[in-house]
Structures are given as C-alpha cells and as structure tokens.
Chains A and B, each alone.
Chain A
C-alpha cells in the first residue's frame, strides 16, 4: 500500500471520469474515511494505508450513470463482481483502481487496544502501528487489530481492476479457515446457539447501520424493515423484532454476500453479523458450488434453478 503511487494512479483516472472514490484521512489520526475526488487539487488529501477499512464499492449502485473511479482492495473487488453479476452497475461506467492488500486495521479494535484514548498521531512501521495517545506511544501489531475478514482473506489482490497499484500478492491463509467461526458455532448445541444469538442480537438498537453500510442492500428507501405497506415489522424494540430484522438482512443476502465485513464494521454494538451471512454462503457453496463475487459470468443460485438438483434431497418426516 503506497500513498504516493495511488495519488498518481488516481490523477490519471480522474481525467477520464466524473468522480473518483478513494480514501482520505478521517476525523483523527486513527481513522480513514471515504473521500470523493472531482478536482486535481483534492488529490493531496488521499491516503492509502491500513486505515482504509471501508468498502468503497458500496457507493457504486447509487452513482447511477455517472462515470466513477473507485479504489478497491481484494475483498471489495468481490462486491464489484457481484454487483456486475446482478446487473446493478455497468462495467463501462466504472474505472477500478485495484490495491493489493495485506490486511487493514479495524478502527474499533484499534481504539479498544488503545483504551479508547484520543489518538494524537499514528504511523506505520512495517507490520506495526505506532500510536501516540496521552499515555505516550504504543506499538500494536497490525495482525492483532485485523477485522475478522483479514484473518482468513483469500483474495488479497482484486479480482477485477483496470489499474493496479503495486504488485499482485497471493493469499497465504488456509481456505478452510474462512468458515471456521461458523463451523465452531454449528458444533454447539441448538440451545447454545439460540442463547448465543439471543444475547448478541438483544444488543441491537435497530439503527440499521449494518443495512446502510451493506454494499448489496440496494433496496434503499424501499427496505421492508421500514415500509408500512406491507407492514413486516413494528417499531417495537423487542428481541423478536430485532431477530426479524436480522433474518431479513441475512435472507435478502442469501447467496449474494461477498463477506466484505461492512455490516460488522458499521455495527455500533459489535454484533457478529457477518456470521449469519457466512453461514448461508457456506450452504450455497455446499449445495450449488457457488461463491458470490468471484466470477462475473456466474448467476446467484437463488436467481435460477435446475430441474434436477443434484444436492437437494427430499426431506422425510
């Protein structure tokens, strides 16, 4: 990840598009944030480092016909592939600036590691984050503040790009580890799983941040969690309503979620929402050999069918 090189590439792309979506410095030294660049003068605000946690592909469906450049990491590129698969964006309207990535820092985990103190300055030394707070300098290993997705990352290099910043890199993570957390939970008893989710989901404040951040939640203002006709959900804040909301989110992403982790990043209550979607993805892989966001020519499994399903058996009573 090289800040200067990305500026050069963005400058080249900028002349061909209306806007480039990239990363800028956030409100303090420990946060990156999305930034929209339309003029050459704005290039200086660009950054490219492990603080670039967001999935910028989320903005693409709402860009409509605007020609847009976008900076994506490997995981984010899967979102673009999925959006293309579903016809939600058009390839000719997007210029993809790919960034090979060895992992980002979760702002939430970083803040926790620093005791939630104000960060005055922050720099990177190899795989170390050196953060200065009122308590002095603290060195934190990047690996320790990885969001969960980075621990099992299979696609460090974008799957689709027009220009690449730096050299492609290969994943060194075990492919079997991707669904390790789901398998672990499935290894527990039904009652334990029920208790686990009741405890987690009970914290939900129904702020809908997970939905708003989700790059594949494209219903926008027509989301059935908010419509009054049909009235799927009331405004009550009971556990069953929260459960229902997460059911909606997970099922609407069935066979579509690209595991970018935006829902978990956005969640203010630290609910492991990604697990719900990963469980369905795991089943989709088992049943239909389908993985979202890896091949543009694929069709999401629930958008199609086979007359003879090889792996779906009839259930006996």
Chain B
C-alpha cells in the first residue's frame, strides 16, 4: 500500500455530504486503516459533481478520481444521484476515448453507516491506481 511502498499518488475523491462523507467519517471513527493517497473534496450532493470536475482533475495530473454519493433512492435531495449516475456513466465511457484509462475513474454509492464498505472501496481503488502507476501529465511527457 501507499504508506509502505512507492510514493504516494494523487487520488481525488468527491464525496457527497450526506452519505459518503459520513461513511468516510464512520470509517475514521471506527479507526479502520485506510490508504492516505485520497484527497477528499466534500460536495453537497453527487449531483453537484460536474463531469468537468473530474476532467479538470485528470487534465491537471490526478492519478485517479473517485466519486461517491448516496445509494440510488436515498439521495438527500431525492434525485441528485440519479442525474449524477447518467453523467458519470457518460464520462466513464468518454475518458478512454481521449486516452485516459477508465479504470482510473470510479463512481459508487456508499451510505453514512457503511464505514467498512468505504474502507474497502478506498483500499481497493487505491490499490488499482498503484497498479496502474502515476499518470503522465501531457507536458511532462513531451519534455516541455
């Protein structure tokens, strides 16, 4: 894992305030061990996550992006995550067209009580990103 081997990678997480952020908190309160590569950005709802947030993260060199919201039907605003699901699926299919590995982007649903599930998601996702390695920023690659 990140804290033992290799350098830490940059993973950006967009978590909805009501479920997933609570879930991450539950994991913390439960003192579950988690990798430290993820930087969490708290958003009011997964419906607030513009696909361009994710795009911007990747363009600026993020190695992975995770979006997590309330389970479908459990949205605090009743339908935010339904819109998010469509947008994020669109994005997930679009990224590889531009040459960004779709595995670097993951979206899922985690409720505030699912601390364990959060731990598993973040651990598995971080492991996957480490397997893929750091993403080369376009400029770095071209040496300018």
Contact = CB atoms under 8 A, between A and B. Distances in A.
Interface of A: 182, 185-186, 190-198, 224, 232, 238-240, 243-244, 247-248, 250-251, 254-255, 276, 279-280, 283-284, 287-288, 301-302, 305-307, 309, 312, 314-315, 317
B98 interface: yes
B94 A280 contact: yes
B101 interface: yes
B98 A193 contact: yes
Nearest to B72: A307
Contacts of A194: 98-100
B125 A305 contact: no
B121 A317 contact: yes
19 contacts: A190-B101, A191-B99, A193-B97, A198-B138, A238-B138, A240-B60, A244-B55, A254-B87, A254-B90, A279-B94, A279-B97, A283-B94, A284-B90, A302-B90, A305-B83, A305-B85, A315-B92, A315-B106, A317-B128
Interface residues of B, number: 37
B52 interface: yes
B33 interface: no
A8 B36 CA distance: 72
Nearest to B99: A194
Contacts of B121: 317
B94 to A, nearest CB: 6
B137 interface: yes
A287 B87 CA distance: 11
A307 B121 CA distance: 24
Interface of B: 51-52, 55-56, 59-60, 72-73, 79, 82-83, 85-87, 89-94, 96-101, 106-108, 121, 124-125, 128, 137-139, 142
B138 A250 contact: no
Contacts of A279: 94, 97
A247 B59 contact: yes
A305 B79 contact: yes
Contacts of B83: 302, 305
A242 B9 CA distance: 24
A307 B125 CA distance: 26
Given A190-B101, A192-B99, A232-B52, 18 more contacts: A193-B98, A232-B56, A239-B139, A243-B98, A243-B138, A247-B52, A247-B59, A251-B90, A279-B97, A280-B93, A287-B89, A288-B86, A302-B83, A302-B86, A305-B79, A305-B86, A312-B86, A315-B92
